[in-house]
Amino acid sequence: MHRFSYKSLIACVLMASTQTLAAPPPPAYRQEVVVAGSPFQGVHGMAVDGKGHLLASNLLGQTVHSIDLASGAVSTLVGPPLGGADDVTLGPDGSVYWTGFFSGRLMRRTPDGKTRVIAKELPGLNSLAFRRDGRLYITQLGRGVDALLEVDPRGSKPPRRILSGHGMLNGFEFGPDDKLYGPLLMKGQIVRVDVDTGSIEVVAGGFAMPVATNFDSRRENLYVVDSVRGELIRVRLPTGDKEVVAKLPTGLDNLAVGPDDQVYVSNMVDNDIHVVNPADGSVRPLVEARLSVPSGLAVAPDDPDEQLYVADVYAFRRVGGRDGKINQTTRVLSSRMTFPMNVALGAKHVVLSSAYLGSVQVLDRTSGEVLRTIPNTNGVQGALELPDGTLLVAEATTGRLVRVDAAEPAGTTVLTRGLEGPVGLVADTEAEEPGVYVTEVRSGRVTRVRLSDGARRTVAKGLKAPEGIARHPDGGLIVAEVGRKQLVRIDPATGRSTVLASGLRIGLPESEGLPPGYIPTGVAVGGSGTIYLSSDIESALYRFVPAR
């Protein structure tokens, strides 16, 4: 008979005691789809190639797509990071050209598949079009610039500025008179521009926000999309008379007219493309989606239905976490809301933040009314409301956390500096020393910042590009570790990290001109312990349900 020594017996007792007192391992999760994905992350400029396909630009997805007009099948022509296109067109030799709004680069892909930069350091590149003689024109729109330029299609000569400060000239096309026809966003007008002299004439007015124009095959009618009113309008030349051809949802971005005069209309809010028959105004879908660019997520911990608040960049939506039903949509352009990329919930308010146009907004949680808009151009990422009504904002570009006063005018105070790409925020205000947890996408850390004095403590390190963060009901931190395509749980006391799910479709590559973690991968946790995750690559929402 084998005998245990006294010391062995004590060791066994201590081991059993330790196992009894240790926290149970996190449950296994099953992954489920809340909202299925889309091939786009907001679709913008388009061009018909004359070969049965429609080219479509995908700015945030950094992709140029080709769409089969017969089937609606979508394929990728140019992928990230080179394909970050706001508008796209075809050159006389069949080359594809596109504008990089954030990168400031004009790109060209030749028919043999070679891609190169034609022009660079042009922030806010937006629309482009060729004249019949092969000369190429582009606009800079936003990002502090408002200009029309001529560029060399081969990139051998520097750009030549034609106009500046004219009222934001957007999607345009050349007419049969070799003059440029396009909308002035800020003036609600369609104008005719002589690119040789720089003279401008008004063709038609009275639009809410005209965003793009295209001629029909006979070059007699000019089609216009009005984003705010959701209208496709026919302008008859030379009289300028207007006629509404079709009514569509607001958020229209661009259009293209095929050789058969069918009109293809893109909607960045709904992330889709529809075909309008101008003969009878009928509308049919070509490519459909349910979300545009889901990023930041939030859910009220006491909500039994676990309704998700989704910062969808081109919209702010409420989505049923259990059934995936989209219950409410607030659309950009047709509302005072700017492009939301992060969202946080307070008792009475919703806080939205966006590096897209550089702002933080406070909304009434019940009505959705925008109560405050605070400009912030420092690559603002996560933002939340503290119990005293002040806001805490993560500036990814400066590496700061700043407080914003509850009262107007909104004064700011720096709480801490030196963070490396702060992206996600989650409050820990009920602790003895209230604080906030921050993900640092550059350093791979989760850091706790004390609210009283800004003192920092590293909670976890060695992560790869952590972005979204949320508190689990058991006190753990749930983090989207984007660089490793996984979801992890971090014990805030020990920093121990446990992988909950891997092989996730998250993490578009970063691009020039964008702050760290630009499209954040959002994480939220419901009271049931179900974890919700946004996918920027698929424009989808997922949930991870505890298996036991």
Could you read off the pLDDT tens digit of each residue along the chain, which spans 548 residues? 334 343 343 334 333 333 333 445 667 899 999 999 999 999 999 999 989 999 999 999 999 999 999 999 999 999 988 888 999 999 999 999 999 998 999 999 999 999 999 999 999 999 999 999 999 999 999 878 899 999 999 999 999 999 999 889 999 999 999 999 999 998 999 999 999 999 999 999 999 999 999 999 988 899 999 999 999 999 999 999 999 999 999 999 999 999 999 999 999 999 999 999 999 999 999 999 999 999 999 999 899 999 999 999 999 999 999 999 999 999 999 999 999 999 999 989 999 999 988 999 999 999 999 999 999 999 999 999 999 999 999 999 999 999 999 988 888 999 999 999 999 999 999 889 999 999 999 999 999 999 999 999 999 999 999 999 999 999 999 999 999 999 999 999 999 999 999 999 999 988 777 889 989 999 999 999 999 999 999 999 999 999 86
420 contacts 405 by C-beta, under 8 angstroms: no
**Residues 457, 436: Cα–Cα separation, whole Å:** 11
Instruction: Report the C-alpha gap between 381 and 466 in whole angstroms.
Output: 13
pLDDT of residue 20: 35
- Other CB atoms within a 10 A radius of the CB of residue 110 amount to 13
* Distance between CA atoms of residues 193 and 169, nearest Å: 10
Amino acid at residue number 209: M
> Cα separations (Å) of 492 from 21, 517, 519?
18, 22, 25
SS3 19: helix
Where in the sequence of the chain do the CATH 2.120.10.30 domains occur?
A: 29-36+292-546, 46-287
The CATH architecture of the domain made up of 29-36+292-546 is 6 Propeller (2.120)
User: Peptide bond preceding 238: is omega within 30 degrees of 0, i.e. cis?
Assistant: yes
Name the architecture of domain 46-287.
Answer: 6 Propeller (2.120)
CB 310 within 8 A of CB 318: yes
Does residue 14 sit in helix, strand or coil?
A: helix
Question: Rounded to the nearest 10 degrees, how much is the dihedral formed by the CA atoms of 296, 297, 300, 306?
Answer: 170
Q: What are the CB-based long-range contacts (under 8 Å, 24+) for 61-65? A: 61/508, 62/508, 62/509, 62/511, 64/88, 64/96, 64/98, 64/109, 65/39, 65/40
Supply 161's token pair.
Answer: 């500025």
- DSSP lists the bridge partners of residue 68 as 53
Give the integer Cα–Cα distance in Å for 301 and 397. 31
Q: How far apart are CA 463 and CA 460, in angstroms?
A: 8
> Rounded to whole angstroms, how far apart are CA atoms 467 and 508?
12
Specify which residues 54 forms β-bridges with. Answer: 48, 67
3-state secondary structure of 21: helix
Q: Which helix (H) or strand (E) holds 37?
A: none
Which residues, including other chains, have CB under 8 Å from residue 13's CB and lie 6 or more apart? none
Backbone CA torsion sign across 174, 179, 180, 184: negative
Structure tokens at 365: 């949680």
Residue closest to 274 by CA, chosen among 243, 292, 249, 242: 249
Whether 381 contacts 355, CB under 8 Å: yes
Comparing C-alpha atoms, which of 118, 112, 113 is closest to residue 64? 113
DSSP 8-state symbol, 172: -
pLDDT computed for residue 421 by the predictor? 97
- CA dist 473 to 27, 64, 183, 231, Å? 13, 42, 52, 47
Which pLDDT belongs to residue 3?
40
Whole-structure pTM value: 0.91
Residue 487: the pLDDT is: 98
Strand order across the beta sheet in which 200-204 lies? 173-174, 180-184, 189-193, 200-204
- Of 433, 456, 430, 434, the closest CA to residue 445 belongs to 456
In the chain, the N- to C-terminal Cα span, in Å, equals: 41
What is the sign of the dihedral through the CA atoms of 260, 247, 98 and 133? Answer: positive
pLDDT at residue 378, as a whole number: 95
CB atoms within 10 A of CB 196: 11
At 9 the pLDDT is 35
